[in-house]
Amino acid sequence: MTDREVFLNNLATKSGRARHQLADNPLVPVNDLPETTLSGKSQDELLEIARKNSEGVHVTFQTTTKAELPATLNAFIKAKLVDMKDDPYQADDHNHLLLPTSDLYADFGLESWKQGLTDPAPTYWKPDASREENIQTAEHAGAAIAFADYLLAESGTITAATTPGQGRTFHFLPVHYLAIVRKSRILPRSRQAMDRYDPMLKSGELVTSNINFITGPSNTGDIEMVLVVGVHGPLDMNYLVVEDM
Amino acid sequence: MKTASMIRNSDHDFLTRVKESEQDKFAQKAIASAQDAQWVKREGARQELGNWEDWRNLGEQIRQHVVRYLPDYLEEFSDNVEKNGGHVFFAQTDVEARDFIVELAKKKQAKHVMKSKSMVTTEIGIDKALLEIPGLDLLETDLAEFILQEDDWDEPTHLVFPAIHKNRDQVREVFIKKLGYEGDNDPQHLARFARKVLRERFLKNDFCITGCNFAIADNGWINLDTNEGNADLCMAIPKTQVVVMGMERLVPTLKEAETMDNMLARSAVGQKITTYCTFTNRKTADETDGPEDFYVVILDNGRSNALGTDFEPILQCIRCASCLNVCPIYRHIGGHGYGSIYPGPVGSVLSPVLEGNYDDFADLPYACSVCAACSATCPVKIPLHKLLVKHREIMMDDLHQSQLIEDAVMRVVGLGTGHPSLFRPALGVAHTGTSVIAKKNPQNVKNLYEDGKHLSWMPFVFGGWTKERDFPDPPAHKDGFRKWYKTHKPVEADPKVAAHTAQRQQEIKAEKAKRGEAQHD
């Protein structure tokens, strides 16, 4: 392999520009469009924009209240697992409910709901489980319920930083997927999400190796450009916005 | 420096490739349809965003800035990858990159290797090199690349839609033959079948190779965009990840990555952002999945040939392929016509740059109508058509490389047109020489085709013209234009028409004065 210094010196020589000039010439953006586009909206306005754009990317978009949240989740479980026992994916042993290990259940008032789940009994992504064990658990999930960090109104995107209790494949292996997000976490665009993640990463407030921006279900247009949903990840995508938190 | 040995993907010459492409009627129709559909989606997405020209200015600025300070950004990025516990390898050539990955796969005793779609891994020819390792199996995970792999590694023809040249029946045939598929040709059924095959393989995956849409200098992370999520599954399951990136694919911070992702998705597929847009790195100690061993291979492979030259802007490219999607030449000859893994306008500019000479790709800069649609659509404002003309200039002026006998012809023309004593007699000879095929009636617009004949075939180098267009017979005047012009006086205008024109001009002046508009005449 080429030594780094040799490699970089070669670039400087070919470009005719000296190295180590960046500190004196930082990038000063020519405009502030990333920050100002879609800015100045109320949370109610953002909610409606998010709803429209999420539905535009084949997302089932719902709102609920903290009080109604357990019932809404139960309806999801019933629709995707309990009422779908003949589904070929469930027949193929993809029939578990996958939940994260998280402190957020208490914030959403879901502790007792979680304890009462029996049909099916939930499986969990566990921080102390092995790589193989967690991946297998996620692979056998007929449905997963995740906690999202933010919802981006412009694109209908949920964002989720990987945590020890909610790993990377948590979002990709289950057959059906629902993300819970609170209304106050709806942001205009991806720039506002970066404006939050970046300082948290730099300060150590957020320790993660991976941030997923997910906009609807996995899809492809690779065969005659016909849109096909669910070629790799979940077959469907559900966002559940909790309004009164 | 000849480095990019793997980017040539055809042994046929340009005209043969074009002829082959013209015969593939399905591919031609599919590409035309894709271009039309993408036009609607792309332009709609840009219009909805608003201020697109200002976004382009920002995109251009970010990419130009990175290229200008490339050694500094690479140094910062590689320092941060290593600070995160990853490893960085600088590869001057495709051979160095390939050898490093092959040796690493052997060292890790990799058995099941998966890849997510990436042009740069195609550029270094890693697939075939890995398949030579006994006991190793390799799987392309993007559906299109998977189809091409199963079809005996057919060559991709588009940066974003690699299998655009295949129809559903061809895909079905491949699946029947190679995978035991028993269903119909419905894309939904074909894709669901592929999902099952791919999913089984994902779970065995012990080593993965991905590309990199953008590398983030100030934290050492990488950014990957897909619509299928295949890159995320590739990265999450195995313990080892190798990221291969062209050395120019940097952005300063997460913020610029986010900006470029937005512009990329709108330009590539008319989406606001791709379905999966992931910012990622070597896993932390407390996380379960994700790579424990994280390697980044940073590749030059001829890219530095552009630095400090007129071709430096090509390093701004973000591989959105919008230039392919507006190009009339790409529409006509498809991806295979270019003979490079990088087709379209970007490929015509980039391929000779990567190669460092014009040995294999001298035809490509001439496969351009200079309509400039590519430059107009480019989200980072690369002046693609001007760079293609620059390639021509270098070949003709600096390298004295001719296309067929054009050089000799143009030298004769140059000699003749450079000396009045030769030029004037030549005009007379040309006029007399073509008189045998001249029209009987004087030439005018009306009788250009209605009244006269035209040639549909001419010999020698002129055949290139008549292959595509008719050649009108020359006029039957006794004299050439210059001689005729000297002997004729201007025709006096019809007094009635002149009076009417003068009156109308006065009226227009009066109307303008009434509206308070300035008089410029």
DSSP string, B37-93: HHHHHHHHHHHHH--HHHHHHHHHHHHHHHHHTHHHHHHHHHHHHHHTT-EEEEESS
Domain's final residue, options B287, B303, B319 = B303
Among residues B240, B10, B223, B199, the alpha carbon closest in space to that of B105 is found at B240
- Whether residues A210 and B57 touch (CB distance < 8 A) is answered with no
Any bridge partners for residue B242, and if so which? B209, B295
pLDDT at residue B521 in the model: 43
Higher pLDDT among residues B391 and B491, named by residue = B391
Residue with tokens 């489980």: A129
For chain B, what is the domain count? Answer: 3
Any bridge partners for residue A143, and if so which? A97, A176
Using pLDDT thresholds of 50, 70 and 90, give the confidence band for residue B475: low
**A91 interfaces chain B, CB cutoff of 8 Å:** no
Instruction: Choose among A134, A214, A231: nearest Cβ to B288.
Output: A134
- Whether residues A212 and B276 touch (CB distance < 8 A) is answered with yes
The 10s digit of each residue's pLDDT in B264-301 is: 999 999 999 999 999 999 999 999 999 999 999 999 99
Using pLDDT thresholds of 50, 70 and 90, give the confidence band for residue B329: very high
Instruction: Choose among B228, B254, B257: nearest Cβ to A232.
Output: B228
Using pLDDT thresholds of 50, 70 and 90, give the confidence band for residue B421: confident
**Domain check: are B148 and B185 in the same one?**
yes
The 10s digit of each residue's pLDDT in A170-223 is: 999 999 999 999 999 999 999 999 999 999 999 999 999 999 999 999 999 889
Residues of A in contact with B230 (CB under 8 A): 232
**Domain check: are B51 and B200 in the same one?**
yes
**Domain check: are B299 and B423 in the same one?**
no
State how far the Cα of B249 lies from the Cα of B312, in Å rounded to an integer: 14
pLDDT at residue B443 in the model: 57
Task: Pick the range with the lowest mean pLDDT from A195-209, B220-234, B436-450, B469-483.
Answer: B436-450
Using pLDDT thresholds of 50, 70 and 90, give the confidence band for residue B1: very low
pLDDT at residue B2 in the model: 43
Give yes or no for a contact between B127 and B115, defined as CB atoms under 8 angstroms apart: yes
Does domain A41-242 sit in CATH 1.10.260.40?
A: no
Tell me the shortest Cα–Cα distance from B364 to chain A, in angstroms.
25
CA dihedral of A219, A221, A223, A225, whole degrees rounded to 10: 150
Residues of B in contact with A172 (CB under 8 A): 229, 232-233, 236
Radius of gyration of chain B from its Cα atoms, rounded to whole angstroms: 29
Give yes or no for a contact between B241 and B211, defined as CB atoms under 8 angstroms apart: no
- How remote is the C-alpha of B354 from its chain's centroid? 14
Mean pLDDT of B467-479: 70
Using pLDDT thresholds of 50, 70 and 90, give the confidence band for residue A93: confident
Q: Is the pLDDT of residue B108 over 60?
A: yes
**Is B101 inside a domain boundary?**
yes
Tell me the shortest Cα–Cα distance from A5 to chain B, in angstroms.
9
Residues near B324 by Cβ (< 8 Å), separated by ≥ 6?
B158, B159, B330, B335, B343, B344, B345, B346
- Whether residues B187 and A168 touch (CB distance < 8 A) is answered with no
pLDDT at residue B494 in the model: 80
Instruction: Choose among B69, B203, B230: nearest Cβ to A22.
Output: B69
**Is B191 inside a domain boundary?**
yes
State how far the Cα of A64 lies from the Cα of A134, in Å rounded to an integer: 30
Q: Is the pLDDT of residue B481 over 50?
A: yes
pLDDT at residue B490 in the model: 72
What's the mean pLDDT when you consider all of chain B? 89
- Whether residues B188 and A226 touch (CB distance < 8 A) is answered with yes
- Whether residues B232 and A4 touch (CB distance < 8 A) is answered with no
Give contacts of A 210-229 with B, CB under 8 A.
Answer: 210-226, 228
Residue of A nearest to B278 (CA): A212
Longest dimension (CA), chain A: 69
- Whether residues B272 and A155 touch (CB distance < 8 A) is answered with yes
Residues of B in contact with A171 (CB under 8 A): 232
**Is B264 inside a domain boundary?**
yes
Q: Is the pLDDT of residue B331 over 70?
A: yes
Q: What is the CATH number of the domain that holds B265?
A: 3.40.50.10420
Residues near A46 by Cβ (< 8 Å), separated by ≥ 6?
A153, A186, A187, A188
- Whether residues B274 and A223 touch (CB distance < 8 A) is answered with no
Domain's final residue, options B303, B331, B363 = B303
- Whether residues A194 and B254 touch (CB distance < 8 A) is answered with yes
**B171-206 exposure pattern, b = at least 16 Cβ within 10 A, e = fewer:** bbebbeeeeebeeebebbbbbbbbbebbeeebeebb
Residues near B491 by Cβ (< 8 Å), separated by ≥ 6?
none
Structural domain containing residue B515? 494-521
Q: Give the 3-state secondary structure of residue B96.
A: helix
Tell me the shortest Cα–Cα distance from A202 to chain B, in angstroms.
8
**Domain check: are B182 and B204 in the same one?**
yes
**Is B146 inside a domain boundary?**
yes
CA atoms within 13 A on the CB side of B472: 17
- How remote is the C-alpha of B183 from its chain's centroid? 36
pLDDT at residue B446 in the model: 59
Size of interface A-B (CB pairs under 8 A): 276
